[in-house]
Amino acid sequence: MKTIFSIFKRDVKKIFTNPMAIILAVGVAILPSLYAWINIAANWDPYGPDSTGNMQVAVIIEDKGNTYKGIDINVGQKIEDSLKGNNVIDWQFVDKETGLSGVEASKYYAAIYVPENFSESLTSIVTDKFTQPKITYYANEKKNAIATKITDKVVQTVQTTVNQQYVETVVKLLGNVIGVATEATKDSSKESMVGLDDELEQARDFLKTVKDSINSFTDVVEISEELSDSFSSDELKKLLDDSNKTIDDTKEAVKFTKATVDTIVSSIDVVLEDVQETMQSVIDDIDDMIDKPQEELVEELDAINLVLSQMSSRLTIISETLTDINDNLPVKLDAITKLVEKIDKVNDSIKGIISVIDDIKTEAVTKENLKLIKAKLNNMLTLVNDIVTTYKSEVKDAIETGVNDAMDILADLSNLITAIDSDLPNVSKFVSAVSDMLDESGNLIGGLNRILDDCDKQLADFQKEIKGLSDSEVFNTISNLTGKSDSVGTFLACPVQIETDKVYSVPNYGSAMAPFYTTLAIWVGAIILVALLKTDVKKKKELGGNVKYYHEYFGRGIIFILFAILQATIICLGDIFFLHVELQHPLMFLLAGIWASIVYSLFIYSIVSAFGDIGKAVAVIMLVIQLGASGGTFPIDVTPEFFQAVHPYAPFTFIINAMRECLCGTYGSDYWLDLLKLGAYIIVALFIGLVLKWLFKNPIKFFTKKIEETDIF
């Protein structure tokens, strides 16, 4: 022990008696701290606006905006306004040529391009020609690896903002279209439903009056037929007086029936044209599907099946409507019957195509399959085109003519009764005229009665549904949304707000990186020591006695450990008082640093003492490996398997974890356990310095001698 302290005392004396040694000692003590402080300061807040605000990103906005249903939409302008108020990035608003050339020349880190049809594409969701809106992002990955990660996050933020604006705009637009946001109305939605119910009741009463009028005409015709034998002029006059009101109601019925039929005929025309256009659109979509991946092809085919099902439902309604009209006409029209047969044939074809698509989806979708579907759709489109042409050229006019003729007969009856009322002496002529007309009008009156009965039934069903809807939960929900399309759009754009509760809060990125760079600096300090200080003792005769190799090991090791403790103390105190790293437990942080310096310096000193220059190389290799294996920068779970395997045994791992306990707050006894685990390296160091050094001293001497003979190393 005496020899060990003699070596230490001589080392200290030589340092303090030599000015150059003092200067070198001060440099050795301070140099590692500069490495830690510079790196921590450089990473203090790299992702904050003060740092990223200097990064230039080009913004190219060519959006011309769009107007739909009275709403002016210009999302491109909103993006520009939003970015101008955003200081996270130095946004440069330029034209397309300047922006793209700037990215290629590395003037800009990235560029964002908003095309001229962007707003139009966003609103296409409410039309039958939907176009996916796109923002093009150009990234210059050559300029800096980390910069692209920052700009990627920024662009994702822009995308989120646009998506929110999009949802808000669409909800507001749909609110105007379907009447959810009716700010001008003064009646509540409930009162509107009650008013609709009253109007339906009045319509049913009117139909009842019309039916009574027709029945009265039947009585009049029958009475007129028997006038010559059974009625006197006075009796007929009394009957006609009672029918005055019926005449007026019948005239209104004629007008009402004509208007209804005209509306139905026009609606059928519009629906058939819509089916025709939709069919052509589906065929065009198949051409665009050829080169798409399998997952997208299956989704596209599902969408086509949905469109075809909707088309089939429309055609079924048209077929039933035309059949009802034809059944209630005095004489059925062959043109309508043939058209209904064609429509039913198209419906059968649609069901067949849907079945074919379902079969194809269970297998791989090929180009041949798509061509087969397209061929079937083209055949069906030919049938639809024929239906539209037939309806416009033959059926539409035939329906209008048939109904108008029937209504003219009814009007003639009304006019005849009016004439009888004003000219009783001509009663016999009236009876004769009515008798001639009776056969023709009988079927008309019966058919009109059936139409009115069917209409009354549909009105009754509709009235029942309206009454149920007014009391339903859905209606109440819609009522609550009335006038709130803006707020509803905001909610749907971002329905969930994230509330962050940081369990172990770190105020800034620099403080979070302090454990890593502090640990790294302490290890680098130990390497500097073995690079500048000698591990073997010279001039052993000055010490007297027999100096053993273990005396030499412990005697010189003390000076290494003291220098390392001084280095760690300066580093940790600088972190606390110079950089103001915010720590929960600063004294424990200092203790962890000093303990790391003792273990690191003893370990590195031992391998260099035992293996010479080979030991120095081992120390540097361990440093490089621990940069990736310590989990100090990236989570260890995202690193390669080799680093994950080394991580539980790396000295850096224990000290970084212990210092993080000091930084964020301790959990149980984790801090002390990490320091204890690191202490295992002391045992390893002593084994290397005392056992392996003795075992390999001759091979190492031979290796060192041969290296010195080169006069290079």
Quote the pLDDT of residue 84.
Answer: 84
Quote the pLDDT of residue 438.
Answer: 46
For the cut 70, the answer to whether the pLDDT of residue 472 exceeds it is no
Q: Give the strands of the sheet with 110-114, arranged side by side.
A: 90-93, 56-61, 110-114, 136-139
What average pLDDT score do residues 399-426 get? Answer: 57
φ, ψ for residue 138, nearest 5 deg: -105, 120
Alpha carbons 57 and 99: distance in angstroms, whole number: 9
What average pLDDT score do residues 141-146 get? Answer: 80
φ, ψ for residue 469, nearest 5 deg: -65, -40
Alpha carbons 596 and 383: distance in angstroms, whole number: 86
| Token representation of residue 10 | 């001589």
Quote the pLDDT of residue 652.
Answer: 95
Quote the pLDDT of residue 488.
Answer: 53
For the cut 60, the answer to whether the pLDDT of residue 386 exceeds it is yes
Q: What is the pLDDT of residues 246-271, one digit of tens each?
A: 545 555 555 555 555 666 666 677 77
For the cut 80, the answer to whether the pLDDT of residue 544 exceeds it is no
**Chosen CATH of 52-178 out of 3.40.50, 1.10.3470, 3.40.1710, 3.30.450:** 3.40.1710
For the cut 80, the answer to whether the pLDDT of residue 145 exceeds it is no
Q: What is the pLDDT of residues 89-119, one digit of tens each?
A: 888 999 999 999 999 998 998 899 999 888 8
Which is more confidently placed, 579 or 161?
579
Question: Where is mean pLDDT largest: 285-289, 419-423, 597-601?
Answer: 597-601
**Cα–Cα distances in angstroms (integers) from residue 369 to residues 289, 301, 351, 353, 361, in the given order:** 11, 11, 17, 12, 10
Domain boundaries, the chain: 2-44+508-709, 52-178, 189-482
Quote the pLDDT of residue 618.
Answer: 94
Outline where DSSP puts E strands in 536-640.
none
Which is more confidently placed, 36 or 261?
36
State the CB neighbour count (10 A cutoff) for residue 108: 26
φ, ψ for residue 666, nearest 5 deg: -85, 155
Q: What is the pLDDT of residues 114-136, one digit of tens each?
A: 998 888 887 776 666 777 788 88
For the cut 50, the answer to whether the pLDDT of residue 231 exceeds it is no
Q: Which of 301-310, 321-330, 335-344 has the lowest mean pLDDT?
A: 321-330
Quote the pLDDT of residue 566.
Answer: 96
The residue length of the chain stands at 713
Of all residues in the chain, the percent with pLDDT exceeding 90 is 26
Please answer whether residues 94 and 58 qualify as being in contact, where contact means their C-beta atoms are separated by less than 8 angstroms.
yes
For the cut 90, the answer to whether the pLDDT of residue 36 exceeds it is yes
Quote the pLDDT of residue 338.
Answer: 82
Question: Where is mean pLDDT largest: 68-82, 204-218, 322-336?
Answer: 68-82
Please answer whether residues 504 and 665 qualify as being in contact, where contact means their C-beta atoms are separated by less than 8 angstroms.
yes
